[in-house]
Amino acid sequence: MWTPTIVMGAIAVLLLVIGYTAGKGQHLGGLRIALRTTLQVLPILVCAFIVSGMVQALVSREALSRWIGAGSGMRGILIGALAGALTPGGPYVGLPVAAGLLASGASVGTVVAYVVGRSVWAVSVLPMEVGMLGWKLTLIRVASTLVVPPLAGVIGNLLAVRLDLAA
């Protein structure tokens, strides 16, 4: 967890120094944009962490294991894919939820299906997609990706067993 933070911190400092040395106030403009983005993202990020924590606290490990754990098979993978498709928001929402599921005992395949389902089946994107691309192309795209999240989940479970990561 610390390595990505240190790397991003180093990149941020480097870019601030570059912006400062350019001498035209780019570093201040960048900091203003960063603050505005933080204020926009922070509420949803806090809510995502609350959801992640509440899933871990409210749902028993046994129930999670039964529904989405290593022994759940395709049922767990399909639940993960559907949950991913229905989860609104960007990676600030989905990744903390995925991490919470994994920490709560979800299988690797279920978490992989969740993350891929969020990307490929995102229900919240469909209205914009239909509006910009039309019904026909949207239906073609949806039909062509129907197997992707479950297949990714199956592959995730197989790799987890192979790499000895299975719960």
So what's the pLDDT on residue 165?
Answer: 80
Q: How many Å apart are CA 140 and CA 19, to the nearest integer?
A: 45
Q: How many Å apart are CA 123 and CA 140, to the nearest integer?
A: 15
So what's the pLDDT on residue 167?
Answer: 54
So what's the pLDDT on residue 159?
Answer: 95
Would 39 be classed as within a structural domain?
Answer: yes
So what's the pLDDT on residue 146?
Answer: 96
Q: Which amino acid is at 167?
A: A
pLDDT tens digits, residue range 12-22? 999 999 988 98
Would 135 be classed as within a structural domain?
Answer: yes
Mean pLDDT of the chain: 89
Q: Name, in order, each residue with C-beta under 8 angstroms of 72's C-beta and a sequence gap of 6 or more.
A: 65, 66, 79, 107, 110
Q: How many domains does the chain have?
A: 1
- For 34, what's the count of Cα atoms within 13 Å in the CB-facing half-sphere? 9
| Closest C-alpha among 97, 114, 111 to residue 56 | 97
| Closest C-alpha among 52, 121, 127, 48 to residue 91 | 48
CA 159 to chain centre: 19
Given a cut of 90, whether residue 3 has pLDDT beyond it is no
Q: How many Å apart are CA 53 and CA 34, to the nearest integer?
A: 27
Would 167 be classed as within a structural domain?
Answer: no
Three-class SS state of 166: coil
- Give yes or no for a contact between 80 and 118, defined as CB atoms under 8 angstroms apart: no
> What mean pLDDT is predicted for residues 92-115?
91
pLDDT tens digits, residue range 35-74? 998 898 888 888 888 887 887 788 787 888 889 998 899 9
Given a cut of 70, whether residue 129 has pLDDT beyond it is yes
Would 154 be classed as within a structural domain?
Answer: yes
Domain extent, residue 32, equals 2-162
Would 60 be classed as within a structural domain?
Answer: yes
